[in-house]
Structure formats: structure tokens, C-alpha cells
Structure 1
Amino acid sequence: MLAQSVKDTTSLLEEVIIEGNRLNIFTTGNKIQRIDSATIQRFKSGNLGDLLTFNSHLFIKSYGIGNLASISSRGTNASQTAVLWNGFNVQSPTLGQADFSYFPVSFADDIEIQYGGAGALFGSGATGGVINFNSTPKFNNGLTFGASLNGGSFNSCQQSANVSLSQKNFVSVLKVFNYSTENNFPFYANGYKVRQVNADVKQKGLMSENFFRIKKDQQLNVRIWLQDNYREIPPSIASRSGNQPMLFVNETLESDFLRLSSEWKKSGKVASYFVRTAYFNDRMSYVDTLANMHAITRFHTSISEAESILRLGRKHLLNIGLHNTFNQATSNGYPDSPSQNRLALFGSYKFSFLNDHWRTVISLRQEMVRGKLIPLIPSAGVEGKLVKFLSARANVSRTYKVPTFNDLYWNPGGNKSLKPESGWSGEISLTASQFTKSRSRNSVMLTFFNSNIENCIMWLPAGGTWSAQNIQSVWSRGLESIITFNKEIRDFKFGLVVLYNYVVATNQKARMANDNIVGKQLIYVPVYSGQATVELVYKGFYVNYIQNYTGNRYYTTDNSKVVEAFQLGSIVAGKNFKMGSSFLNVNVRVNNLWNESYQVVLNQAMPMRYYQAGLSYVFNKSNKSIN
């Protein structure tokens, strides 16, 4: 069904084999949203930014179809939300953020969002939350083959395929995709209807995943992710005079990456052990022919981690681990090849009380960066049932983020004396739930959050150039709500999800004398936003409609200038067919249904109404249900 699942307060301390990870077990008190398989299926032809825009409380700052998509969670910036691939942080050490347009949804089996600070569990960069992009093996599932073809407006086309061989002790999965679009969409600029230029996007990628059951209680996995990305950077609306760009800017960005990971785990009733390692190799090549500029950036990341989860009696769990991340980069903007090593010791203790109706967790992390100790990072959370239908959760945590390589070393302007950003965040949630006879869950959740961040890094003019400085103090607070309703009447299934966000994120410190930014909303953080999703299913037919609202966003720090609010509607209709061991889906989608002229980022054109159609096929030899 369409409803996004938010983690309930079901006990995790029963006498079973310990197989979960930190995000599943030790985030007690945090709001966790799991994107369901039906939603992933509907967005499989898109990227992670598209999916999160219409299915989460997160604000995705998009520069256009297939172009840069960055994130803001509860008023934090793009570098303050950790992005994990099966538990490994893939944030760039140079920019400090991840581009969500580079994550094809077809490569994910499940997607999880933790809202709020998670520095004690996942280290630097987990100030606003954590996005976990996962793949999960299914053993003894036979031979599965899937393929999809999607096409639409602006000569867009996406092909993807996957094949999986799943036996009792071995699973091998291969996924590939190819995507291209000319992005020559019409839009309005300075009173003229024009077409976008220099906006081609091309992506292709491969993911190979192999899982081995060495013994009944031991498993080894090896993953490989290769991807090549090419995008042209279109001129801004401001650069147009009449119906043509003032100057034809030919900017392009090529990037490719290799991601390797391996994990060994031993699971038991009393103790589980995990040893994992990863290596990332990323390259970016930026070309601006008008400025005669060609900049190449490369970085290498190696991550090693070992941890154990121990059961200390029926109601107690202990997690202890050691983590190391090593980053090295080269760039035209660096005088040499800087490197950074981060070593961390972390632990969590979880226990249940009041007849297992309540659980609490305490976590600590001590990290050393460039040979210096970061202040101890603690967190604590509690959750449980107040009455039969009403549950509550609360969490408080310290957060931090180390400066990026660009902040430290960029020439000119880098500042090697920068301090890590640090602060505190907390939240309280109340959830009222009703479970129906059809096992659907109707619920209302309200989450109140608060966050303070000191030593925020800003680039400011200094001596004729720009320099990174620890100057900003940010206070974010607000409310998130989610309402889910499901109803079944014979063969009809109806679902409704309504998300609402109220975020006040303000500067608390002046940068200089007479600086008019204190108490002002951060740029590109909407105070109000939300969406409503309605779905109707009948005997394999389905119709899904999403209405999304994004409020005004300021693009000046004194809040004197604004990017206007907008509303977007999208509708998808399709039919699922089951033919023996085969499954077929046919769907059509209309995006920006009401033909809205809008901008997410100032002077960055966005498409008006456009169309997509898709066909996907899955064959499963074992005749098991495939999502």
C-alpha cells in the first residue's frame, strides 16, 4: 500500500538471532521512515531526489531534471545529512554532500530515513538526519529476471535490467541501468516562452552484489557499484535577453565513481559480530568553454569498521564498535593532495522496562580527527506506549560536522584553523494508531523538533577574496506531521497520506557590524511545505495522485528577496498483470499536471507539464511474489 511506514515501538529485544544494524536497533527515540516497496516500484525510473521530494519531510533543492539535487532536513544544509550506502557514508569529502540525482531508485531494495541528529551512531555529517540506501538479499528465491523501459517528454529514455540467482547459501544479483534526456523543455523567461538549451543528461551504471552463507550463522557479502554521469549545465534564466541566452554557455560536468564494499557477519542469540570495509574512487571533470576552464577533482575514501552486538540478558543489548575513515583528494584548487584520517570508538546500550512496553538507549562516540579529539558525542532516546493506541518517543543528541576539504584547503580562501560545527538536537513524537481487521494501519504522528548548531562554516569576503570562517549560529525548530488512512471495501483499496512541515531555521549571530541577518530564516529553507498522496487500487489497476506544496524560500540572508511558493501535482496510473511465473506492469505518468511555472532555485528553469510511460517485466522461476 502507499503509506510510508514510520517505525512503531515494537520490542526489538525478544529471544531471537541478532541480525539488525544500528539504524534498526539503536535509534530508539528517533523518527524512522521506511519507504515501502510499492513507492519504490512507482519511482524506479527516477532518482532518489525525485522519490524523496514526493514521499518525505525532506526538502530537495533541485536544479532541474537530472541536474544537481541536494537536501535540507529540518533546516540543515546539504552537508549536514549523512547519506549511507548499505551503512557506508558516501558524502563527498571535498564538498561534504551527496548529489541525489546520482542514486537510481532501481538500485535500491529499501530506503530508510532517520530524522534528527545521529552523530553518536554515524559520526560527522549526521546533524539533520541519515538517508540509508540499501539492498537486501533474499535467499532460496530461485532465478529472477527483471527489465523495464521508460520514455517520455524531452526525448527522455531509461532502460534497466536485473538478474538474480538465489540459492540456499548463495545469492548473486546484477543490476544495470541507462538514462538519457535532452531536457529541451519549454518554460517562461522574462515574458517569453523559450526552450531550455545545453541541458543534456546521460547516466549509466552497474551494481553487482554477491552474498555467501558460509555457515548457518555466518554470511559474507561483496558489492560493486560502477557509474558514469554526464550533464550539461544550462544557462540561468537571468542570462537570457528576450528569448535567447545573452551568451551561449557551454558548461559540462562529467563524473564517474567506483564503490566497493565487503562485510562479514556472524549472527547469534547472545552475540553478533560485524566486520566491514569499503573503498570509493570518485572523479569529477568540470568544463566551461566560455571561461576556458577545465577543473578535475579526484578523491579516494577507505572505510573500515568492526562492531559487536551483545545480549546482556533478555532485556539488555550492548553495541561496541571501532570505525576508521581515510580520505585523500586532488584538485586544481588544492596546493597539494590533502588527506584526512578519522578514527572513532562508539557504543550503545539499550534496555527495556515496564514489562517491555518501554525501551531506552544511550549512545556515545569518541572521534579523533587529524590527531585531535572531537568532544565526546552522546545521545539518549526513549520510546513506548502511553496507552493502547497512543505511543511516544523522545531523543536528544549532540551533533558535529568536520570541515570539508574545500573549507580547509581551497586556494584561495581555505582555512586550516576551522573548528568542527557542533550542537545539540532533540525531538518528541506522539503517534495515535488504529489497526483494522485488514491489518492496515491508520495513524496520526506529530513530531516536535529543536536544533542548535554553533561554529557553522560560511564563506565571507575577506581582503579581496572569499574565506571560510566559523561565524554562523543556527537555531532550527518546528513541527512535522503525518496522517495515514487505509480502507478496504471488497476488491477496492483506498489509501491517503498527508505530510506537513513547519520549519523555522534562523541565524542567531551577526557576521559583522550592522549585519541584518539575526532572527532571519535561512536561505532556501521553506517555512511551510507538505504533500498529500491518494491511491486507489482495484484488481491490479491503480491510480496514484500526489499534490506537493513548497512555500516561499528566501534567497538573501536578510530575507528581503523571495522565490515564490508553488504547488505541483502528479498522477500515475497503471495495471499489474500476473501470468504464471511472470509479472508485468504498464503505467503512464503526468508530471506537473497543472502546468505550473515555478522555480525551486532562483533563475533555474523547471519543466512545465510533461509525460512519461513505462513497461516493466519480472520473471521468477520459484513463483514467489516479487515487489
Structure 2
Amino acid sequence: MILALPHLLLGQEILKIYGQVISRDGAMSGVSVVLDKTPYNSLTDNNGFYYFYNIPVGIYSLSCRLNFNHYKLAEDLIVEDGPAIRRDIYLDEGVINIAPIVVTANRYDNKANRQEIAIDLREKPANVSEIIAKIPGLNVLAAGDGGELYVAPNGARPEALEVYVDGRKINSILTGKADLNQIPLGALRRVEYYPTAGAINENGGLAGRLDFISGKRADEEYLSIGASGGSFGRSDYDARYNQSIPGYGNIEIGWEHSKRKNNYKYIDYFGEQQIRRNADYRSDKVYFGYAACVKEMLIKLSGYGYDGSNGIPGKTVTPSLNARSDKFTLSTGGEVGLSVKKVGAINMRYSYQNRKTEYRDSVGITPYLTQYNELENTLELSVSWNKVGNLRPESRFAIASEKLEGKDNLRPAYALGIVKRNILGLGGGIGYSDKLSPLNIECGISGGADKVKKQIYSSYGGRSSLWVEHGFKLGMNLSYGKSYRLPGLAELNWKEDVFVIANPDLRPERSFQGSIGTFAEFPVWGRWRLSAEYRDVRYRDLIYWRRSQGLRYKPVNIARSDCFAASYTVLYRSPGEIASVEFSRVNSVSLNREEGQPYYGKRVIFQPSYVNRIRVSISYELLSAQLEIQDVGERYYLEENTKALAPYTLINLGVDLHFRIDRLTLGLKFKADNITNTSYELLEYQPMPPRTWGFGLAIKI
């Protein structure tokens, strides 16, 4: 290998940061190296070197991009009035086709065997639905703008998807579902989706895992303040502060406030025009994060709090005008990572979560006032062992405690009371990678088991990727996984009353998943990526509430379903990434397999037959714009498939203008959703908003 020594002084330009990007095959030319949240970038030369001149004193994060892959140096660089800093980036495994690579001082963390879809959030998204729309195979379930919002994978209910924020599982102990509206959007930096549950999630998860990751984004400065307003009583305010302190790490804090009246008009079941009532929403969110690297030890702390209230409007045929839901959530945790030369990377994580929910309706047919308190504590130890040849083993140990308390202020005798559960988990896996030019191989297997009382439940999975690289990429992926979801504490322990009977003998829900896919990347007037995938998922022992002993309902393991889905994606990025076009289509068939029922062989409810999504983005100098089109097929809402929600097409538009004056950045935003004023529903008799618009102003210092 030939090492080129850079000149420390070139005319009046003073060299501050430089280095070489190399792999096992030698220097890598044509790699774009970027100093995050700055305009500085450099393209590696024929010897793989990059150079940054005249960089102001400060702390910088270094990353590089090649084709559609993103590589990031974990440690920050401190630039002072001294000699230039050299940082070489060594990619031991070559370019990974579907996963980013994290490079630290002593280890290389490769997640290609597990990661399916990753989205980097360069700016704060307008809402959670905007993020989910970019992930094929996930469908939003909501009764309006604001309030509870859930996401369901193809062929499954929202309970089947495990949702994490910075490694903390946020699924409710009470309902099993994760309310994504509680997540502070300003804190998010990245979203990752793992469809094959058993291959990546050793502690369960019926239909995959969705990870929201907080941290610094490229568009941040030190202080940002924003405000926006729009139709139907929309108002949003947010503030965020981020500061890097040399020798002490990075700290960030933020606050978000949202309010919605949702008093829009709709056509009711009888063809009469009505105004949506009791659909208002209000929330406050606060969040914080801290990260520091002390010698070889990485320390991270993060968390958020949520305080929200929303009306429960009910179906338009039987509206509820007084029902409300109040929620308070505190989710926090920390982790410590350490690299040990003869062992590997050791990581310890602790998380704490407390959720309080109150449901009330004083004037309904059956008044209620119930309160629930959920408490979770989790301690996890994971080790990424040093490589043995081309093998990289990993192991994990975790212990979790769950506590659910239910109070019924109107009928105290039927209150849930206090129920608890402890879970002991053990898992691990091993990955293999090799490069047999021009053939690349990535594969891995993983598995785990959870112990609850005297019962042990297991999951396992595997994945392999093969691709050829020769100025282009052409390859295929295979995966298989088995996983499960534990019954909820409420389903197991609900206090028997005139409506419900608990079932302490419930078994976990199970899934068996397999997929095969192909992908291609090539440069033609820009960069293209094409992919296609077929996925087969079989769900067994699904828990449904069925009528038992007269009018009372009881949860039982009787339901089964099969899901068959094919997805196709096309991504194009123009030279300089001035414009990009993303297209995806998902065709799916989800069939009910519950024996002895009239709906055997019928489609599973709320599962669209197809979803088409197109997103066109333009970013040039001060202007950026996005046009999104979403086309969704019909969804049955009765198990007998006699009634269905109509197909719909939504068109959304967003335009941003950014002006920079010295250290001040001024942003103007305009967004219009449902431009064609389409009438549609995500749940039966729950009309979604018509055409809406909003304006926003953001200031960054």
C-alpha cells in the first residue's frame, strides 16, 4: 500500500483534518467524507486521502458516504489551534449492501445480518405518519389527527410489532400496543425497521421490531426555536438546545407542545354533513440526551416525558361526546460501553419506564372512571466478542420486571388490582462475512430464550446476503425466523365481571417468517437502487376475545392467520443529490385460518390489499420541496368480509426555505396534506381530516 503524505500548508489554506479511507484491498477512492452539521466535505483521491482546510476551532463528527451506504466515526474530533488531526477509516469488511457500519477506535460493528430498512432524519418530520410512510409493509391505524396512533405490520395487529426508543421497549403492558404519538419527534435522528423478528430480536416480537434512535442531526446548531399553525386548530411549538463541551461530551434538551381541535366537517352514515366533535388533542413532551467518550468508555443517557389528553370521539354512528383519555409517560435509561482488547465490546444498559393512563366518561351509557399505572425496569448486558477469523459472535443477558396496577373508581370490586411479572432473557448469535472478489457474503444466525416463572419460550432466526460488486451491485437476501409475543398481564389477570373473564392459561402467540429478495445498484445519470422481496408469515395461537358464558368475553388462543406479501422499491438520486425519487409497492394477502368459523379463509381485517407510495424530493440552495402520493387499497373491517373501507389516494406537499445570516438560520415551512380533499377512514366510522394546511417558522442559532 502506498501512503501519501499531505502538505500541511497549501498557499493560505491551513490543513486541520485529514486521513485515509482504506479496506483490506487497499485505498478507496471516490468516497465522500463529511463533517456533520457543517458545509465541509471532501472526496477521497486515488490514494484514498481526504483533506479539510481552514476548519474553525470546535468539535466535529466525521462520516463518509459511498453510493447508498453511510459510515460514521463514533468519536468526536476536537479541532484546536495546533497541528492537523489524522483520522483513518478502515473498513475491514468492505462495503455492506444494506447496513451502515460504525467504526470506533478498537472495533468494527457490523449489523448487516440484522438490519432491513434504515431512515436518516436530516430534519424534524412533521408527524410520525410521515416516517412510517417511508417503510414498506407498515400501516398506520388512527382515529384522527392526534390522540393514539398505532402501526401494524402486514398481516398482524399493532401488538405484534415491538417498538423501541433508544433500546427501551415502549409497548404498553396494558394493551400490548405502542402509542407512537408520545415519541418526541425533535429528538429523533434515525429509524430502523427489522421485519424478520426472530433473526434480530432474541427477547420476542411477533412481527418484527421498529427502533427510534435519538441524537444529533446534521441540521442542528446550538439553539433552535420553532412555531407553526394550521387549519382545524393546529398549533405546534418546540425548542431545542444542543451543546458540545470539550472533555465533557454532548448534551441536548428539548420541548414540544402540540394542540389540535380537529373540528372538521364530514359526511355521516346517513349522508348528512356533520362536524367532528370530542376529537381534540393536547400534549407536551420534554426530552434530554447526554453522550460522552471517556478514554475507551462510551457513556449515554437519554429519556423523554409525555403529558397528553385527548377526546375519544367514538364511531360517527355512536359518537361519544364526553369520553376522554389522559396519559403521562416517563421513559429514561442509560448505557455504558467499553472496548476490551482481548474480549470485545461490552455494553450495559438500564431502562426505566412509568406510564399512567386514565379513561373516563361520566355521561355514557356505561359510565367509567378507570386508572392504570404501568412500571417497567430492565437491565441488559451484551457483548460483541472479538472476531475469530471471519466469525463475529455476540451474546446478551437481560432481566426485566413488569408491574401493572388497575383501579376502577366507580366499581372498586372489579378493579384489576396489582399484577406483576419477571422475565429472564438469554440470547446470542454469530455472524460470518467474507469477500471472494467479486462475490461478497454476509450471513448470521441468532436465538434466544425467555424464562417466565417456570416456562421457557424461545425464538431463533437466520439471514444471508450474497452480492456481486463490479461497478454495480447485484445480489439477493434470504431470511427465516421464529418468534413469539407473551400474553398481556391484563389478558392473564383481568378481574372477572359481568363483561369479561380472564384466562391465566393463555399461551404466547407465535410466528414463523421467511423471505427472499433481490436488489441491484448502478450508476446511470445518478444512482439507482432496485429491490424486490417476497415474504411468507404464519401466525399461530393468536389471542382474540371471544364470547364465553353468555355475554361475557374471554381471551383465547384460537386464531390463526397466514400472510403473503410482495414488495418492490425503486430509488433514484440525481448527481449531487439535488433530486430524488422513491417508489414502493406492497401487495399482500392476509387470510384468517381460525377453524370452524364462517370467516375461515377470509381476509384479515384492516389489512390493505395493496399500498403504493411515491415521494419526489428536490433540494437546491435555499429551497427544498417534497411531494408524496399514497395509494391504499380496500380494507375489510368485518371478519366475514361483507363490509370494507374504500380505497383512497392522498397527495401531500411540503416546501421549505432556509436563509442564513451569519450564525442565524431562518426557516420558513409550508405543508398541505390531502390536497385533493379525499374522504377516507383508517378505522370504520372514524373519518380522517380533509384538506389541511400549515405554516411554520424556525430559528436556529
Q: Give the TM-score normalised by structure 2.
A: 0.80
Matched, 1:123 2:203: yes
Deviation for aligned residue 1:155: 1.7
1:539-580 deviation line (CA, Å, top 9, x unaligned): 221221111011111111121111111111111112122323
Q: Secondary structure at the match of 1:237?
A: coil
Deviation for aligned residue 1:319: 0.5
Matched, 1:61 2:61: no
Q: Secondary structure at the match of 1:343?
A: strand
1:342-362 deviation line (CA, Å, top 9, x unaligned): 111111111113438101111
Q: Could you say which residue in structure 1 is the equivalent of 2:40? A: none
Measured at CA, do residues 175 and 117 of structure 1 come closer, stay the same or move farther in structure 2, by a change above 3 Å? same
Deviation for aligned residue 1:618: 1.8
Q: Secondary structure at the match of 2:232?
A: helix
Deviation for aligned residue 1:187: 1.6
Q: Could you say which residue in structure 1 is the equivalent of 2:579? A: 494
Distance 1:105 1:11 in 2: 22
More displaced stretch, 230-239 vs 279-288: 230-239
Matched, 1:258 2:330: yes
Distance 1:55 1:509 in 2: 29
Deviation for aligned residue 1:446: 0.5
Residues 118 and 130 of structure 1 are in contact (CA less than 8 Å); yes or no, is this contact kept in structure 2? Answer: no
Distance 2:168 2:259 in 1: 28
Matched, 1:349 2:349: no
Measured at CA, do residues 136 and 268 of structure 1 come closer, stay the same or move farther in structure 2, by a change above 3 Å? farther
Q: Could you say which residue in structure 1 is the equivalent of 2:560? A: 473
More displaced stretch, 408-417 vs 331-340: 331-340
Q: Could you say which residue in structure 1 is the equivalent of 2:293? A: 213
Distance 2:278 2:100 in 1: 53
1:155-175 deviation line (CA, Å, top 9, x unaligned): 211111110111233111101
Pairing 1:411-426 to 2, within 5 Å after superposition? 411=495, 412-426=500-514
Q: Which 4+ stretches in 1 moved above 4 angstroms? A: 3-7, 9-16
Q: Secondary structure at the match of 1:338?
A: strand
Q: Secondary structure at the match of 1:495?
A: strand
Q: 1:34 aligns with which of 118, 125, 136?
A: 118
Measured at CA, do residues 430 and 87 of structure 1 come closer, stay the same or move farther in structure 2, by a change above 3 Å? same
Measured at CA, do residues 62 and 5 of structure 1 come closer, stay the same or move farther in structure 2, by a change above 3 Å? farther
Q: Secondary structure at the match of 1:612?
A: strand
Distance 2:106 2:531 in 1: 31
Q: Name the aligned partner's letter for residue 97 of structure 2.
A: D
Matched, 1:588 2:670: yes
- Root-mean-square deviation (CA), in Å? 2.5
Matched, 1:380 2:462: yes
Deviation for aligned residue 1:587: 1.3
Structure 2 unmatched ranges of 5 or more: 1-64, 71-95, 408-413
Q: Name the aligned partner's letter for residue 306 of structure 1.
A: L
Residues 256 and 284 of structure 2 are in contact (CA less than 8 Å); yes or no, is this contact kept in structure 1? Answer: yes
Measured at CA, do residues 55 and 354 of structure 1 come closer, stay the same or move farther in structure 2, by a change above 3 Å? closer
Pairing 1:9-28 to 2, within 5 Å after superposition? 9=98, 17-18=106-107, 20=109, 25-26=110-111, 28=113
Q: Could you say which residue in structure 1 is the equivalent of 2:159? A: 79
Q: Could you say which residue in structure 2 is the equivalent of 1:331? A: 406
Deviation for aligned residue 1:452: 1.0
Pairing 1:122-201 to 2, within 5 Å after superposition? 122-124=202-204, 126-136=205-215, 144-169=222-247, 170-189=249-268, 190-201=270-281
Deviation for aligned residue 1:186: 1.5
Q: 2:352 aligns with which of 272, 276, 279?
A: 279
Measured at CA, do residues 154 and 269 of structure 1 come closer, stay the same or move farther in structure 2, by a change above 3 Å? farther
Q: Could you say which residue in structure 2 is the equivalent of 1:317? A: 392
Measured at CA, do residues 157 and 199 of structure 1 come closer, stay the same or move farther in structure 2, by a change above 3 Å? same
Q: Could you say which residue in structure 2 is the equivalent of 1:366? A: 449
Residues 477 and 504 of structure 1 are in contact (CA less than 8 Å); yes or no, is this contact kept in structure 2? Answer: yes
Q: Secondary structure at the match of 2:159?
A: helix
Matched, 1:109 2:196: no
Matched, 1:447 2:533: yes
Deviation for aligned residue 1:26: 4.4
Deviation for aligned residue 1:453: 1.5
1:320-348 deviation line (CA, Å, top 9, x unaligned): 11011110001136543111111111111
Deviation for aligned residue 1:536: 2.4
1:582-613 deviation line (CA, Å, top 9, x unaligned): 32221111111001011111000211111111
Residues 199 and 480 of structure 2 are in contact (CA less than 8 Å); yes or no, is this contact kept in structure 1? Answer: no
Measured at CA, do residues 137 and 371 of structure 1 come closer, stay the same or move farther in structure 2, by a change above 3 Å? farther
Residues 117 and 426 of structure 1 are in contact (CA less than 8 Å); yes or no, is this contact kept in structure 2? Answer: no
Residues 9 and 385 of structure 1 are in contact (CA less than 8 Å); yes or no, is this contact kept in structure 2? Answer: no
Residues 80 and 128 of structure 1 are in contact (CA less than 8 Å); yes or no, is this contact kept in structure 2? Answer: yes
Q: 1:518 aligns with which of 594, 600, 603?
A: 600
Distance 2:485 2:541 in 1: 10
Residues 399 and 425 of structure 2 are in contact (CA less than 8 Å); yes or no, is this contact kept in structure 1? Answer: yes
Distance 1:226 1:12 in 2: 31
Residues 473 and 508 of structure 1 are in contact (CA less than 8 Å); yes or no, is this contact kept in structure 2? Answer: yes
Q: Name the aligned partner's letter for residue 423 of structure 1.
A: S
Q: 1:604 aligns with which of 680, 686, 690?
A: 686
Pairing 1:281-296 to 2, within 5 Å after superposition? 281-290=354-363, 291-296=366-371
Deviation for aligned residue 1:423: 2.6
Q: Name the aligned partner's letter for residue 227 of structure 1.
A: Y
Q: Secondary structure at the match of 2:118?
A: strand
Deviation for aligned residue 1:119: 6.4
Measured at CA, do residues 617 and 383 of structure 1 come closer, stay the same or move farther in structure 2, by a change above 3 Å? same
Deviation for aligned residue 1:516: 1.4
Distance 1:81 1:187 in 2: 32
Deviation for aligned residue 1:484: 0.7
Matched, 1:91 2:171: yes
Q: 1:482 aligns with which of 569, 577, 580?
A: 569
Q: Could you say which residue in structure 2 is the equivalent of 1:624? A: none
Matched, 1:203 2:283: yes
Measured at CA, do residues 329 and 15 of structure 1 come closer, stay the same or move farther in structure 2, by a change above 3 Å? closer
Distance 1:334 1:235 in 2: 24
Q: Secondary structure at the match of 1:91?
A: coil
Distance 1:335 1:484 in 2: 50
- Residue identity over aligned pairs, in percent, reads 17
Q: Name the aligned partner's letter for residue 548 of structure 2.
A: A
Measured at CA, do residues 80 and 11 of structure 1 come closer, stay the same or move farther in structure 2, by a change above 3 Å? closer
More relative contact order in 1 or in 2 (CA 8 Å, sep 6+)? 1
Distance 2:394 2:679 in 1: 51
Measured at CA, do residues 186 and 55 of structure 1 come closer, stay the same or move farther in structure 2, by a change above 3 Å? farther
Q: Name the aligned partner's letter for residue 113 of structure 1.
A: Y
Based on CA coordinates, which of the two structures has the bigger radius of gyration?
2
Distance 1:61 1:120 in 2: 25
More displaced stretch, 91-100 vs 167-176: 167-176
Measured at CA, do residues 214 and 36 of structure 1 come closer, stay the same or move farther in structure 2, by a change above 3 Å? closer
Q: Could you say which residue in structure 1 is the equivalent of 2:589? A: 504
Q: Could you say which residue in structure 2 is the equivalent of 1:625? A: none
Q: 1:238 aligns with which of 317, 332, 355?
A: 317
Q: Name the aligned partner's letter for residue 367 of structure 2.
A: N
Measured at CA, do residues 615 and 4 of structure 1 come closer, stay the same or move farther in structure 2, by a change above 3 Å? farther
Measured at CA, do residues 209 and 518 of structure 1 come closer, stay the same or move farther in structure 2, by a change above 3 Å? same
Deviation for aligned residue 1:12: 5.5
Measured at CA, do residues 340 and 15 of structure 1 come closer, stay the same or move farther in structure 2, by a change above 3 Å? closer
Q: Name the aligned partner's letter for residue 393 of structure 2.
A: L
Measured at CA, do residues 454 and 214 of structure 1 come closer, stay the same or move farther in structure 2, by a change above 3 Å? same
Q: Secondary structure at the match of 1:207?
A: strand
Deviation for aligned residue 1:138: 8.3
1:74-104 deviation line (CA, Å, top 9, x unaligned): 2111011110111121111111110122223
Residues 82 and 91 of structure 1 are in contact (CA less than 8 Å); yes or no, is this contact kept in structure 2? Answer: yes
Q: Name the aligned partner's letter for residue 544 of structure 2.
A: M
Deviation for aligned residue 1:50: 4.1
